[in-house]
Chains A and B, each alone.
Chain A
Amino acid sequence: MSFYLPIGPIHPALKEPLNFIFKVEGELVIDAEPNIGFAHRGIEKLMENKTWMQNAFLAEHICGICSADHQGCYTQGAEIIYEKKPPERGLFIRTLVWELERIHSHLLWIGVAMHEAGFDTFFMYAWRDREVVLDLFEALCGRRVVYSMSTIGGVRRDLPSQFAEKIKKFVPYIKKRMKVYEDLALRDQTILARFQNVGILKKSDAIDLGAVGPTARGSGVKRDVRYEESYGAYEGSPYRIVVEDAGDSLAKLLVRIKEIVVSADILEYLVDNMPSGPINLNLPPMAKPPVNEAFSRVEAPRGELVYYLKSDGNLKPYRVKVRTPTLANITSVVAMVKGMYIADIPVVYASIDPCIGCMDRVLIIDTKKRKQKIMTKEELIHFSNKWFKKHLNELKEERA
C-alpha cells in the first residue's frame, strides 16, 4: 500500500523552504515530485530598477552562503559589458575570497549532511572549523557572511596587514583537519552505512540531467568552470579536478573534502604570487555602459553559476538572468531518491547541497487563493500592462 509523505516546506530536514511529495510504499520511495518557489523574492526584476553599481550589492544577497560568487559572477559580467579589465591584484583578491568561501561552504555542507544522518557531533566539529574561516573573512572583509568585496573593475578593499601570515597558518590547519575528516568518512561504520551506495547518480544520468558542481563530479563527470574557463586568477594556480566515480552520497562527501584541500592549495598560491598594484579601476558610479550583452560563468561551491546580463546603454541593466546550480541539480534528486528508503531522503537531498534562496526566482504564488502557477511571457506582459493601467494615476501623482 502506497501513500504520500510530504516533506517540506516546513520540515526539520530542510533548512530552506522547498516541498517534496514522496510516494512511499512502506519505507521505500517510489516516486518524488519537487515543488519549488517558496522563497521567491523577485530579485531579477528588482535588478532592472537599480544601477549597475548598486546591483553588485543586490546580487550578493541572492544567497547567504555563496554570496561572493554571485557578486563576483555579476561583476565579471558587468566588466564585459563595460569592456574594462580589472587589475591583476583585484582579480587575485577576488579569487582569494572565492576560494575561502568554497572552504566555508563545503564545511557548512559537511556539517549539514552529518546532521541529516544523525551525526550531530561531526556537525558541531565541522562548524567549529568553519568558524576559523569566518574569522579570516572578518579580518579580510570586516564581515563574516555577506562580504561586499567585488565591485565592477576590481575589489573594494585591499588585504589587511598580516593577512598572508594568517592564510599560511590556516592552510596546514585545514589540511590536517581534512585528513581527519577523510579518515572518519572512510572508517566510521555508521557514516559508511548511511552514505555508501545511497542516492546513486549514474554518470550518464548526471550528464543527461545536467548536473553541475560536486554533484556531477561525484558521478565521475569532469565538469568544472574553473578548469574550462580559467577566469579570475585561476590560470596558473595549482588547480586539479577532483572526481569520484561511485556517484553515491559518500563520493559527493569525499569530493567536497578533497576540494577543500585543493582550495587550500590555491589559497597558498594566491598569497605567494599576489601581485602589487591597484586593486580596482575606480570607475565612476554613474558611468553608463555601451549597448552590450554578457554571459558570465563562475564555479560556485555548489556548481556552475551563470549570469546573463543585457545592457541597452542606460544606467540600469535591461535584463539580468541568473541560473543557479541548485536549479540544475534539483532534477537529479528525483533520479537519486527513487528506490531509496525514507531514511535516505534527507541525506540524498542534502547531497546536492541545495540552496533554495538562490534558486527561487521563477514561480508566482497567489497567497490568497493558495494557488501557484508559472506565468508565460505573454501572460506576464498582459499582467503588467493591466497593472500599469490600473496604477497609472498613482504613478503620475507620485512623479508630480
Chain B
Amino acid sequence: MEYLLYSIIFSVSAILVAFFLEWFDRKVYARIQHRVGPKITGPHGVLQPIADFIKLLTKEDCLVKGSDTLLLDMGPVLSVAFVLFSLFFIPFGYSEGLLSIPGDLIIIIVLSSFVAVMILLTGYAQKSAYANVGAARWAELFISFEIPFVISLASITVASRSITISEIISWQAHNLPLIVIAPIALVTFIFSSLAKLEKTPFDIPEAETEIAAGWMVELSGRKLAFFRLTKDLEYLLLSALGAVIFLGGPIGPSLPGLELIFGIIWMAIKTIIFALVFSILRGLVARYRIDQAIHLFWHKVIPLTFFQLIIIVMLGLFGFI
C-alpha cells in the first residue's frame, strides 16, 4: 500500500518536473536567441508548459476519416506510460531508484525503443503524406541513433562491470565518475540523445519548414498533448540518465543525516547540467538533412563508440579500472 502511494506521488512529481524542464529548455533557448521566452504564466512563466498541456487537453480531437483510431489512441497513452515507467528506475535521491532490479539499464533502453516504435506507428497510422514521410524519417533516424546510444551505454557497463543502475552508481562512488574514464562515450551519448529527443540538428522527423510537423501533423487535442508530454519526459529521462551514468547521480559530499536531501540536490544539479547541454547545443546548429544525419551516425559516431569500447576493454585488461 505504501509503495502504491509512493509510486503515485513519484509519477505526478515526475510529470511536474518534466514540465519544469520544458520551461527551462525554452527559457535557455530563448536567452541564446536574445529573446525573453515564456514570461506571463506563473513567476517567470514557469507554469507555461502546464498551461499549454491543459489547453491542448481541452481542444477537440480532430481526425481524418479512415485513419487507424486504435493505433492513434494507443500510441500517446502507451508512450507516456513507457517513459514514465522507465523513470522509476532512475535514482533521484537515494542510490537506488523507486524500482531497482538487476539489469534495469536494459529495461530503460528497451522501453525507450518501444516509445520509438509507438512514434513510428503513430506516423504510419495517419493518412497523410507528411506524416508518412515523417514516420519513414523517424525510422531511418532511429536505426542510426539507437546503436551508438546503446554502445555508449555498453562501454559504461563494461567499465563498471554491471548492467544495474544502482551498481553503476556505487562503482562510481568507490572509483572515479565515469565521465573521466569514458569521455568519448559522453559525446556519443549526447549526440544520440539529441536525435532521440528530436532536438535541432536532428529534428528531421518533425521538421516544421520541410514537412509541416512530420509524424505529428494530423494529431490534435489530447494526442498532441500526450506526445509533447512524452518528449518532455524523455528529456527528463535522458538528462537524468546522463547524470546518473556519467556524473554519479546522487553521490556527492553531504552532511551525516541529510543524505537524502543532499542526494536530491546533487541529482538536480547534475540533471540540470545535462539539460543545459542539450538546450545550448540545439540553439547553436542548423538542422541536418536525413541522409547527412545517417551518414554522421554511421560513419562518425558509431566508429567513435566502438573506439571508446576498445579503449575501455584495454584499460580493463591491463587492470587500470
Complex Cα spacing A191 to B288, Å: 9
Known: A5-B129, A346-B209. A191 touches B289 (CB 8 A): no
> Contact string, B173-211, partner A, CB cutoff 8 A, digits 1/0?
000000000000000000000000000110110011111
Q: Does A43 sit within 8 A of B, measured CB to CB?
A: no
Chain A residues with CB under 8 A of B208: 12-13
Q: Does B283 count as interface, using CB distance less than 8 angstroms?
A: yes
Contact A119 B210, beta carbon cutoff 8 Å: no
Kindly provide the distance from the CB of B176 to the nearest chain A CB, expressed in whole angstroms.
32
A interface footprint on B22-44 (CB within 8 Å = 1, 0 otherwise): 00000000001111000000000
Do B209 and A114 have beta carbons less than 8 Å apart?
no
Say which residue of B129, B133, B209, B291 sits within 8 Å of A116 (CB atoms).
Answer: B209
Indicate with 1 or 0, residue by residue over A2-36, a CB within 8 angstroms of chain B CB atoms: 01111000011100000000000001000000000
The answer to whether A124 and B34 have CB atoms under 8 Å apart is yes
Residue B292 at the A interface, CB < 8 A?
yes
A20 → B minimal CB distance (Å): 12
- Chain A residues with Cβ below 8 Å from B63 are none
By secondary structure, the A interface counts as helix
- Return chain A residues, CB-CB under 8 Å to B289: 193-194, 341, 343-344
| Interchain CB contact under 8 A, A118 and B287 | yes
B212: Cβ under 8 A from any A Cβ: yes
Distance in angstroms from B269 CB to nearest chain A CB is 26
Q: Would you call A115 and B287 a contact (CB within 8 A)?
A: no
Q: Chain B contacts of A114 at CB under 8 A?
A: 286
CA distance A193 to B289 in the complex (A): 8
Is A190 among interface residues, defined by CB-CB distance under 8 A?
yes
A60→B285 CA distance, assembly (Å): 37
B211 touching A342, Cβ below 8 Å: yes
- The verdict on A168 contacting chain B, using a C-beta distance below 8 Å, is no
Q: Count chain B CB atoms within 10 A of each CB in A13, A114, A193, A346 and give the residue with the most.
A: A193
* Closest A residue, CB atoms, query B132: A3
Inter-subunit contact B286/A194 (CB<8 Å): yes
A128 touches B34 (CB 8 A): yes
Near A by CB (< 8 A), chain B positions 30-84 give 32-35
Query: Which chain A residue has the least Cβ–Cβ distance from B201?
Result: A190
Say yes or no: is A188 at the interface (Cβ < 8 Å to chain B).
yes
Q: Which residues of B contact A120 (CB under 8 A)?
A: 33, 200, 283
Task: List, in ascending order, chain A residues with CB within 8 A of B137's CB.
Answer: 27
Chain A residues contacting B107 (CB-CB under 8 Å) are none
Q: Could you tell me the distance in whole angstroms from the C-beta of B231 to the nearest C-beta in chain A?
A: 17
With A5-B133, A341-B291, A345-B210 known as contacts, the answer to whether A119 contacts B286 (CB < 8 A) is yes
Bound-state Cα–Cα, A190 to B33, Å: 18
* Residue A121 CB within 8 A of the other chain: yes
List chain B residues, Cβ under 8 A from A234: none
* A115-161 interface (Cβ within 8 A of B): 115-122, 124-125, 128
Indicate if the CB atoms of A115 and B129 lie closer than 8 Å: no
Given known A128-B34, A193-B289, A341-B291, contact A121–B212 (CB-CB < 8 A):
no
**Complex alpha-carbon distance, A155 and B74, angstroms:** 66
Q: Chain B residue with minimal CB distance to A11? A: B212
B290 within 8 Å of A by Cβ?
yes
A101 to chain B, nearest CB (A): 24
Cα A190 to Cα B194 in complex, Å, equals 15
Contact of A343 among B130, B201, B210, B212 (CB under 8 A): B210
Asked if B158 is an interface residue, CB under 8 A from chain A, the answer is no
Q: Is B109 an interface residue (CB 8 A)?
A: no
The smallest beta-carbon distance between A346 and chain B, in angstroms, is 5
Q: Which residues of the other chain, A, contact B284 by a CB distance below 8 angstroms?
A: 121
Whole-angstrom CA separation of A356 from B236 in the bound complex: 43
- A121 and B133: CB pair below 8 A? no
Q: In chain A between 293 and 347, which residues have their CB closer than 8 angstroms to a CB of chain B?
A: 341-346
A321–B288 Cα distance when bound, in Å, is 42
- Chain B nearest CB: distance from A382 CB in Å? 40
Of residues A190, A194, A343, A345, which shows the largest number of chain B Cβ atoms within 10 Å of its Cβ?
A343
| CA distance in complex: A367, B80 (Å) | 44
Per-residue CB proximity of A94-122 to B under 8 Å, as 1/0? Answer: 00000000000000000000111111111
In the docked arrangement, what's the CA distance between A342 and B210, Å?
7
A9 to chain B, nearest CB (A): 13
A114 to B32 CA separation, bound complex (whole angstroms): 16
- Least Cβ distance of B215 to chain A in Å? 14
Q: Is B204 touching A343 in the complex (CB atoms < 8 A)?
A: yes
In the bound complex, CA of A116 to CA of B287 (Å) = 9
Q: How far is the CB of A119 from chain B (nearest CB, A)?
A: 4
Besides the known contacts A114-B286, A117-B287, A344-B289, 17 further A-B residue pairs in the complex with CB atoms under 8 A apart: A5-B129, A13-B209, A13-B210, A27-B133, A27-B137, A27-B290, A119-B285, A119-B287, A121-B284, A124-B33, A188-B285, A190-B287, A341-B289, A341-B290, A343-B287, A343-B290, A346-B210
Q: List 18 A-B contacts (CB under 8 A).
A: A11-B212, A13-B208, A27-B137, A27-B290, A114-B286, A116-B209, A118-B200, A118-B207, A122-B286, A125-B33, A188-B285, A190-B285, A190-B287, A193-B286, A194-B287, A341-B291, A343-B287, A346-B209
Top 8 A-B pairs, shortest CB-CB distance: A118-B287, A119-B286, A124-B33, A190-B286, A13-B209, A343-B289, A190-B285, A117-B286
